[in-house]
Structure 1
């Protein structure tokens, strides 16, 4: 698009930035709570001094603990380390731009390490009797940290929202020659996000408690709550993007999975008001009106492709529809407008 776009994208970018900051603040608080709560929950089953370092290899039956800390210090040290890391990310602009990439895997590693230490010390009267570190727990923590790092990179890579200039409400937008076509809108449902967070917290606590030896077969809680959390989170927010190639709708905070419609496959587009009652509820709905991604009642972008309707509840749907209609064969007002 040209450089004469409105300030709408900047405002949405700031709003998304605030959402990211609040999410990371919740992550920092949650990890801190786990670091404290896990050893306290197992306090009656732990020695006064905790084994915190082992000689030899992980999972090696010959590895013996060769370092320890008082219980209070073993609780406070990782919490202080986490606080310093979080404050460092908040203080430096360069690091702050990569906050999710740093904080997500670091939190997983610290919480996993605390769980492994608690598990090894559990039900021993003296720290020298602590079990070797469980290689399965260590491997699971490292795998989870890698996934968290990937998610953090994807979150940090999300760029600002761009918008094109309004077109006086016309159903087909006149694109000046030499300008590129870009329109982007996002919508989220805070209640669905909260539901996903609660389900995810239950799964995470069960996983940490299981790794720490405080829970039996943790997968019985982790699996259903984890899958439910991911499913709800995937449809708690949506991003619609129009370019010269057509329409792209991404789901969830990472914009994935994605559905795409090529410009040549779109028959028409329109803005239409819909409610959850009309489409059968919230989230990804199938019904008599076609497919609807319903996150809030009101304006939806509706596209018809191959005789079927797909609707997504996003703001500024009329402008998105006008831009899509400008791509439909026979409606382009300027043949060289798209590049």
Structure 2
């Protein structure tokens, strides 16, 4: 079994997420300071009445400090983890950052909204509904992060010298490859953070709900569409070729071995296929995430290409498996 891929774009995505959450935590109460009392209610009793407070600056900086400590701790833990457990650590790091960031931002929005247009912090409204909704959304964000960071297991590969290879009897060979485009991931992250800021502004009472939602819907759609085209995974096995998109591996396209006429490797550039992402051109369909070698398969007289690393080995395995498969 062979696995290859690139993970540099993930790092930039995490950096953008951490920076965006930090800006939201600090900027939210400061943006509404003209409508907030000098001292904000920051704690509520079981009956729903405010019983503790902080100054405006302390209320803005305290959750940001918690976030900074959390991020720093996760960075140190990840740095000092051995290679054997690095995959699970990355998964839990993403879960913690996703759930923790959403939770802190949601709580900050609830606190800001409860204090909005109050002359004294003791008159602050309840935060129960906002906190409950925040916990639910944070749990969902953590679950999505866990699914997005799952990886197929890696194992040593077997060298191939051309478009075909000898298949040992009684053994099953599988080839994996993954590629991502950090610029597309960054674009998706920025668009998503702007949508999150609009939602938080509506939750905190800093913007009208209907106009905010009108802005959020197209931004979320754009973020999801760009993210789904920012990374690709290719898998070759006895069932054929499977190409999946995005961090969740969905959607996906599949071709059975008996349907693939031939597999080859071509060098393609964005200029040849008309840009980045999922492109249709005179060369057929191309998933272009980086210039260079692409795995190309011909099915029913049409070409499908995907820019992944180690494309020659994938093409060799596809051709060899196809030669043994009944047409």
Q: TM > 0.5 between the two? A: yes
CA distance in 1, matches of 2:99, 2:213: 21
Residues 290, 310 of structure 1: 8 Å contact kept: yes
Distance in 2 between residues matched to 1:314 and 1:87, nearest whole Å: 33
When the two structures are aligned, how many residues end up with a matched partner? 315
1:24 aligns with: 14
**Preserved contact between residue 105 and residue 148 of structure 1 (Cα < 8 Å):** yes
1:251: how far off? 0.9
- Contact 1:270–1:318 (8 Å) recurs in 2: yes
1-structure distance, mates of 2:155, 2:29: 47
Moved over 6 A (4+): none
Match of 1:146? 139
Q: 1:133-158: CA deviations, max 9, x gaps?
A: 373x4454334312311122123322
* Alpha carbons 1:238, 1:252 under 8 Å: kept: yes
1:243 to 234, 237, 244: 237
Q: Distance in 2 between matches of 1:236 and 1:193?
A: 6
Corresponding residue for residue 131 of structure 1: 125
Residue 36 of structure 1: CA displacement?
0.7
Q: Deviations over 1:276-304 (max 9, x none)?
A: 33333321123443322122333221112
Do 1:89 and 1:96's aligned partners in 2 also have CA atoms closer than 8 Å?
Answer: no
- Structure 2 Cα separation of the partners of residues 322 and 33 of structure 1: 49
1:71 to 56, 59, 64: 56
| Aligned counterparts, 1:136-215, within 5 A | 137-138=130-131, 140-159=133-152, 161-162=154-155, 164-169=157-162, 171-215=163-207
Give yes or no for contact 2:17–2:189 (8 Å, CA) kept in 1: no
Answering whether residue 283 of structure 2 is matched by residue 292 of structure 1, we say no
The verdict on how the C-alpha distance between 1:20 and 1:236 changes in structure 2, with shifts beyond 3 A counting, is: closer
Does the 8 A contact of 1:163 with 1:183 survive in 2?
no
- In the other structure, the counterpart of 1:39 is 29
1:84 corresponds to: 69
CA RMSD of aligned residues (A): 2.5
Tell me, in whole angstroms, the C-alpha distance in 2 between the residues paired with 1:237 and 1:119: 38
CA contact (8 A) 2:27 2:60 kept: no
Displacement of 1:260:
1.9
Q: Which secondary structure state, in structure 1, belongs to the residue aligned with residue 305 of structure 2?
A: strand
Matched, 1:276 2:270: yes
- How many angstroms does 1:259 deviate by? 1.7
Corresponding residue for residue 336 of structure 1: none
Residues 34-80 of structure 1: CA distance to partner in whole angstroms, max 9, x if unpaired?
111111111121111111223457xxxxx432332222222232122
User: How far has the Cα of 1:192 moved from its partner?
Assistant: 1.6
Deviation at 1:89? 2.2
- Are the aligned partners of 1:264 and 1:329 in contact in 2 as well (CA < 8 Å)? no
Cα deviation for residue 22 of structure 1 reads 4.0
Q: Which runs of 5+ in 1 are unaligned?
A: 58-62, 333-339
Secondary structure of 1:23's aligned partner = helix
Instruction: Quote the Cα distance in structure 2 between the aligned partners of 1:163 and 1:278.
Output: 34
Alignment of 1:216-255 (within 5 A): 216=208, 217=210, 218-255=212-249
Offset at residue 160 of structure 1 (A): 5.5
Structure with more contact order per residue of length (Cα contacts < 8 Å, sep ≥ 6): 2
**Deviations, residues 177-203 of structure 1 (Å, cap 9, x unaligned):** 243312122222222222212212211
